[in-house]
């Protein structure tokens, strides 16, 4: 099995004829929409409250053959699971029988599966069981009947430790007709509780469940099942979830910190170290104007924090161009930097997205659990890729961006803070703020008139501390600006770093 759609419904309470008709109509609609992911065959298995099952299966598109069946559900129905199958090239069956059409049925267990079971032959030999079809999905019902004790923990163990491949699963057991099990690794599955129909629907894509014609206050909430999860839900309203991640709590939490050499990433790295993370700094030299001072700063910071530093030299953005930071156009220094702080005049096309993608690839390859960035609430006002929502949404993509059973999560330690709060936190935790570089220009001093310089100066002033870096401004201007602030006190270094590569 490669691409399919898993769908179905769990019915709560005692449905009358009107409600059961409404549930059936919605189920039909979902299955017909889901043929987008499978047009070779479809099937629905319906279970009644006494554990009896009824199977409706057909070759071809659901939209062409499903309407021929006048009735799928009745008032005795408690659960139904369905599947739309796209037959992969590697499992092509010229003459298909009923056992080749999902959901797969054994004596007690019924399974609808989207994905690939890569070790089906090995499982047959290990457990002395036989598939009912050449299709790999058919290993699952006999495997569960042989090895599963019916508990959520037992299902977690089998899927985590025994099954190799990809999956989104819907499972029912005739011996427990009021329960439904849903499980996913990186294959998608969404759930929706319909308030009016008092039923839980599920399918492989959220769009199959949504009703776009309803206004938001009438629409039902559709939620994704968290990747690498197994769930047990009952008609009594019980809901339990367990994770399928393999977690070794004895290992340190390794994080790759995307570091520019500025205030935000430096404070973030220091905070992560204080929280017990094993931190490595990752710095990109991408041909920007401030490359020299930023590289020097991040090396000093790595030495101070006593953490490894990985430098990546890249010329990708030399091809992209279209930014003052890459030498095209002028850095905005109007109104003493306020203008540059309030709008993304120096936007580099998709820079953070590119950096995060590369960082995730490095993290996966080198065994890091996390990638951290210095995105923050202040700069999110001008730069979309500093918005917390950017990182939150990318985290939802992460299970599909890395290999099977690989876990890389994005962190934003200062994502909820504005600049003066970041400086305050950095001062409190002993971050080496005196070693940082914030200016868009190449130095040797901070220009004092670009957007980052404006925010940096004001953030220190709000905290009553004189910024320890030098600005290319008249001495009288500086003395007047910092009057009434106290001198910056540099914290003690944590040790020496190791440069991994450059």
For the beta carbon of residue 280, count every other beta carbon within 10 angstroms. 23
Query: CB under 8 Å, gap of 24 or more: what pairs does 296-302 form?
Result: 296/261, 296/437, 297/261, 297/262, 297/435, 297/436, 297/437, 298/259, 298/260, 298/261, 299/497, 299/499, 300/432, 300/435, 301/259, 301/261, 301/266, 301/269, 301/432, 301/435, 301/436, 302/259, 302/497, 302/499
Rounded distance between C-alpha atoms, residue 211 and residue 218, angstroms: 10
Length of the chain, in residues: 502
Choose, from 4, 439, 447, 450, the residue flagged as catalytic: 4
DSSP strand E in 295-344: where? Answer: 309-313
Beta-sheet strand order (sheet of 499-501)? 409-411, 370-372, 254-258, 278-285, 309-313, 499-501
For the beta carbon of residue 7, count every other beta carbon within 10 angstroms. 31
Contact in structure between 296 and 311 (CB atoms under 8 Å):
no
Rounded distance between C-alpha atoms, residue 374 and residue 452, angstroms: 14
Q: How remote is the C-alpha of 423 from its chain's centroid? A: 29
Rounded distance between C-alpha atoms, residue 497 and residue 455, angstroms: 29
For the beta carbon of residue 417, count every other beta carbon within 10 angstroms. 19
Rounded distance between C-alpha atoms, residue 60 and residue 31, angstroms: 13
Alpha-helical runs (H) found in 117-262: 120-127, 140-147, 152-161
Is 4 in the active site? yes
Active-site residues, by number, are 4
């Amino acid at each position: 099995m490669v691409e399919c759609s898993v769908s179905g419904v769990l019915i709560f309470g005692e449905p009358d004829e009107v409600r059961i008709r409404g549930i059936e109509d919605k189920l039909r609609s979902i299955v017909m929409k889901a043929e987008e992911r499978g047009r070779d065959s479809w099937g629905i298995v319906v279970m009644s409250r006494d554990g009896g099952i009824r199977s409706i299966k057909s070759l071809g598109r659901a939209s062409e053959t499903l309407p021929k069946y006048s009735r799928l559900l009745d008032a005795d129905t408690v659960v139904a699971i369905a599947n739309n199958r796209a037959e992969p090239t590697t499992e092509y069956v010229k003459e298909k029988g009923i056992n080749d059409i999902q959901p797969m049925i054994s004596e007690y267990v019924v399974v609808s599966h989207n994905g690939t079971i890569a070790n089906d032959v090995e499982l047959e030999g290990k457990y002395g069981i036989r598939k009912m079809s050449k299709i790999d999905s058919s290993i699952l019902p006999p495997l569960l009947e042989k090895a599963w004790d019916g508990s959520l923990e037992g299902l977690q163990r089998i899927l985590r430790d025994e099954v190799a491949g990809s999956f989104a699963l819907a499972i029912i057991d005739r011996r427990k007709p009021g329960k439904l099990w849903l499980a996913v690794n990186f294959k998608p599955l969404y759930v929706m509780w319909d308030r009016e129909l008092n039923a839980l629907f599920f399918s492989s894509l959220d769009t199959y469940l949504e009703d776009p014609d309803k206004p938001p206050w009438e629409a039902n909430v559709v939620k994704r099942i968290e990747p690498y999860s197994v769930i047990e839900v009952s008609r009594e309203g019980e809901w339990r979830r367990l994770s399928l991640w393999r977690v070794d709590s004895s290992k340190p939490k390794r994080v790759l910190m995307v570091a520019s050499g500025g205030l935000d990433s430096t404070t973030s790295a220091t905070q992560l170290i204080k929280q017990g993370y094993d931190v490595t700094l990752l710095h990109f030299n991408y041909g920007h104007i401030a490359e020299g001072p930023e590289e020097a700063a991040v090396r000093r910071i790595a030495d101070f924090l006593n953490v490894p530093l990985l430098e990546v030299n890249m010329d990708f953005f030399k091809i992209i161009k279209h930014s003052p930071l890459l030498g095209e156009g002028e850095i905005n220094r109007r109104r003493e930097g306020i203008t540059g702080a309030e709008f993304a005049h120096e936007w580099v096309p998709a820079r953070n997205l590119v950096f995060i993608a590369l960082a995730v690839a490095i993290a996966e390859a080198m065994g890091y659990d996390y990638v951290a960035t210095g995105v923050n609430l202040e700069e999110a006002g001008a730069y979309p890729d500093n918005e917390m929502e950017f990182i939150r949404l990318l985290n939802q993509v992460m299970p599909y961006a890395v290999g099977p059973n690989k876990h890389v999560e994005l962190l934003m330690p200062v994502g909820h803070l504005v600049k003066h709060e970041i400086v305050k936190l950095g001062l409190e935790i002993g971050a080496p703020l005196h070693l940082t570089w914030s200016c868009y220009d190449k130095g040797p001093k901070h220009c004092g008139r670009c957007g980052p310089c404006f925010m940096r100066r004001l953030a220190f002033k709000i905290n009553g501390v004189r910024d320890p870096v030098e600005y290319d401004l008249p001495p009288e201007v500086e003395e007047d600006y910092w009057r009434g602030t106290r001198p910056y006190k540099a914290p003690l270094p944590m040790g020496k770093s190791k440069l991994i590569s450059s």
